[in-house]
Chain A
Amino acid sequence: MTAMPRDPMALCCAGVEVRVGAKTLLADASVHLAPGRVTAILGPNGAGKSTLLSVLAGQRAPTRGRVTLDGRPLEDHGMPALALRRALMPQESAVAFDFTAQEIVALGRYPHRRSPGRDEDAIVEEAMGLTDVSALAPRVLNTLSGGEKARAHMARALAQLWHPRPDGATRWLLLDEPTAALDLAHQHSAMRLLRAWAARGVGVVAVLHDLNLARRYADEVVVLGGASGGLMQGATAEVLQPGLIEAVWGTPCQPVTSVDGTVQYLFG
């Protein structure tokens, strides 16, 4: 595994354990995430992917270990300050009342309400355009399909991080299974969107269940639930080897090279 250069603007966690009662959701996780990259968190069901993501987001406090951002513990930043530069797209979200898709996306601008720009409405519109939900703007969110809701929530996360921070702090876009409900075309357009944002300096971390999407679009991966119950982090091509895949997911795996040179896997 090539050692990743230590980045002072990193989002890291060290020795994180999350335990609820007798059940251990995550054991001894240490990752080092740098901005400007797409990192995929992978693993079988129950490996603790969502838990790791929520710990990194500051939504959940670990029972052991610490999380740091820009070298400082997450608690020191404070939730309101974090909300200005870190967005988490949830796996599923039960929205109360009949808010429209547009109103939901606009809620992404909530952290910025104290110093709104002149383009608040434009931000919401453009964010919806990026995830292809513009036509759904006036519709009640709860009446939309699973995929449409997911794209609306993704637009909300994008709206939350729309402008670069004036103090130059890196922005972090965390997504929990963003592609799970999307149809094929939207899966790929969403991943390309994430890559574009990473290219602009945003740190993108996404829990993915589709190894092929990860192989194609992620710069590096974090694999949970290995044989040792541990965690592997590294460049995608290096970590996602058939041997590891078969060991972690227990499924025979055959790599094939697609026309554009990307390696993809055949399972089963």
Chain B
Amino acid sequence: MTSFHEMNDRFSLQRRDVLRLLGASSLGAAALPLFAQNAKLPKLVTVSGAITEVVYLLGAEAQLVGTDTTSLYPAAARATPKVGYMRQLSAEGLLSLKPDAIIATNESGPAVVLDQVRSAGVKVEIIEADHSWGEVQRKVQAVGRAAAREAQARELQAKLDADWSQVQQRVAAASKGRKPRVLFVLSHSASPQVSGEKTAAHSVIGFAGGVNALGGFQGYRPMTAEAMASAAPDIILTSTQSIEAHGGVDKFWQRPELALTPAFKKRSLITQDALLLLGFGPRMPAAIAELHEKFLVATA
């Protein structure tokens, strides 16, 4: 039987130890979130080239576990596991990558697959693609949220907003004269199509200080000689992929539908990579600036 004093001593010892332990653990507790964050950054799947670009810009590429087939920039994105075409995703395929979040535009589908993924506990962020600067902002915010890098996202957004307003000011300042009539031709598939209102191209042309030579309809229509003649664009805008599909610039100009346009006479053709031009991603301020410069050159 130990004496009361001995027992007391033992307890005090234990109390001291406990206090020391508590002290250490509170420090440790403060350090814990840092460790936890590094070990447990959310894993992402991005469905849309522009969204993938944002991920790389936020430095979160280590969190990227899968991208779709339109995610081609930067080059490293091409090496990530591909979940297929954005409109034909596979639920099991997405889940097999064990993502914490999927960020996609509202053009992705099928809707059922996204529902299935949601009900498996994965966060699905859908960004409305309305072809406005807001779309780009939403993409940055969404990636920031999903990647748990909201601070970096706010920084990036601020920078992009600044770039954007700079470009917009330049465009506004330069638009004293007549705005060039620009027509966008899409030609990745068999028949070339031209874009009317409510398309990405329409917004891009407007942002860059031009005016869409085609109006009165929404979406895409096949290119016809009469439509082209009556539209009378000063500049033809197309993607580099479309030119490749035609087999070169000369072959492109040989298209009979273009022969009656003012653009044809001056060989006014501007090409840009499709993702850069229409992706509504973080490179958009630079893309619009470049486009604007080319407009000025063409109308000089």
Touch A–B, Cβ below 8 Å: no
B interface residues with partner A (beta carbon < 8 Å):
none
